[in-house]
Amino acid sequence: MKKAIIIGAGVGGLATAIRLQSKGYQVSVFEANSYPGGKLTQIGNNQYRFDAGPSLFTMPEKVNELLDIHGGTSPVFHYEKLNEVCRYFYEDGTVVKGWGDQNMFAQEIKNKLGVPEKVVLNYLSKTEFIFNSVNSLFLEKSLHKVKTYFSFHTLYSFLKLPFLNVGNTMDEVNKKHLKNPKLVQLFNRYATYNGSNPYKAPAILNLIPHLEFGRGAFYPKQGMHSITNTLFQKATSMGVQFHFNAPVSKLNTLSTHVDSVQIGNKKYYADLFVSNMDIVPFYEKLLADKQQPKKIIKQERSSSALIFYWGVKKEFKNLILHNILFSQDYKEEFEFIFNKSDVYHDPTIYINISSKFSSEDAPKGKENWFVMINVPGDKGQDWDDLISRSRKNIIDKINRNFGVDLEHLIEFEDVLHPKLIEKKTSSFQGSLYGTSSNNKKSAFFRHPNFSKEYSNLYFCGGSVHPGGGIPLALSSAKILSELID
């Protein structure tokens, strides 16, 4: 059997392991941590369990496709569709329910914001049009192979580009079509799904809402971490060999291909090598003595996150699984994140409470709060001070909106911040999605899924094409697999 080595057991690495093992490779995965999943892991104590990273689940068919691959056994993977995807809270007391059903959502917007249903439905139809127009090109194929541009689907996508507002930002298009400031803010939020700024990111990213309103948002019945567990079980049942606490320190190369990986004083040889690492540390650490792709390394990184994991000794009936408390000046918040490398004093707060669906995640009568704000990556800021100030601002905002004294309800606390994200996952500066999409051509600037220097070196995960987030990381594995074919 030919041998394949994968560096990193994030969700992209797990998916790649399954695909390569099914092609007849003997796959070995080397992971620096003691566990698989990368950002898609969990934390907690004997009372509270938290999904540590990604908390929104869309496009479950990408997981099911991996489980359907021949070989090994396929664990049972249960999930359910959300009727209400997210609940939105504004400072003036307005509460909007983000129903998964488009007609119900349009009616909600009419009742709460006074925007005609037709405006909302037309906008959602536009997001579907954008998604269907570019999905096969931007999300399912390599943009870095010439043959990609000589297919019917590619020609079809390019013919539609003039109708996709590629020259405008998300915010510009949303203001034009939606007009209502609260509704514009709601849809501008989708830029954060890949760590970008809606006031700079191209309007083509307005395809993202279609994933929720058109295709649906879901919840894995055993939490987001069950995605990691399911893929790990599938891979091991197929014969994939995992090596944990095994950080790769170097790639040993010959003139045209990779020869082996270095772990401690030992070399491991293979026919094929795949990196699931963030691109920046991959080149700076594993190919330190080789020529660096400077343009890619210097690209603007996506935003990071400051997350508080709170065990709260109270149930909040007005909150659901996904909740957003909006800032009053959204544009200024992104100005702080991307231009000032600082944390805004009135941040938009995301609260995820998985115990709403998985009662075992918190004691009876209590809830597990995953409380996140978008922040800049680590560029040497005083994070002790930023964390302290942000914690106070977050609690004040929650108290203001819900009329509680949250401080006295918190009985468990853990914190994740950009420096710790980088330490745990090797994500440069703690960025969540690799590079940002704050450029009209950003999709073409992402690192390809293959090496131009070494014929047997490939790449998967959120820092390469097609981008960050669970569905795109899984797509990167499929693109890689097809390139090998």
Burial zone of 293 (CB within 10 Å; 0-12 exposed, 13-18 middle, 19+ buried) = middle
**Per-residue pLDDT for 235 more than 60?**
yes
Q: What is the pLDDT of residue 444?
A: 65
Task: Read off φ and ψ for residue 218, nearest 5 degrees.
Answer: -135, 170
Q: What is the mean pLDDT of residues 89-96?
A: 98
Tell me the CATH number for domain 3-42+225-299+436-484. 3.50.50.60
Q: Contact, 434 vs 302, CB < 8 A? A: yes
pLDDT tens per residue across span 354-404: 999 999 999 999 999 999 999 999 999 999 999 999 999 999 999 999 999
What's the Rg (C-alpha) of the chain? 22
**Per-residue pLDDT for 330 more than 70?**
yes
Q: What is the pLDDT of residue 440?
A: 76
Q: Under DSSP, is residue 172 helix (H, G, I), strand (E, B) or coil?
A: helix
Which residues share a beta bridge with 99? 84
pLDDT tens per residue across span 108-152: 999 999 999 999 999 999 999 999 888 877 777 776 666 665 566
**Per-residue pLDDT for 439 more than 90?**
no
Task: Read off φ and ψ for residue 254, nearest 5 degrees.
Answer: -105, -165
**DSSP alpha helices (H): ranges in 190-315?**
208-213, 225-238, 279-281, 294-297
Residues 6 or more apart whose Cβ sits within 8 Å of residue 238: 18, 21, 22, 71, 72
- For the chain, give the mean pLDDT: 94
Cα–Cα dist 171/403, whole Å: 32
Q: What is the pLDDT of residue 365?
A: 98
**Per-residue pLDDT for 66 more than 60?**
yes
List the structure tokens of 464: 């390469």
pLDDT tens per residue across span 23-62: 999 999 999 999 999 999 999 999 999 999 999 999 999 9
Q: Which of 2, 4, 3, 5 is nearest to 286 (CA)?
A: 5
Q: What is the pLDDT of residue 168?
A: 92
**DSSP alpha helices (H): ranges in 339-484?**
383-402, 418-425, 442-445, 470-484
| Amino acid in position 13 | G
Cα–Cα dist 108/114, whole Å: 9
**Per-residue pLDDT for 158 more than 70?**
no
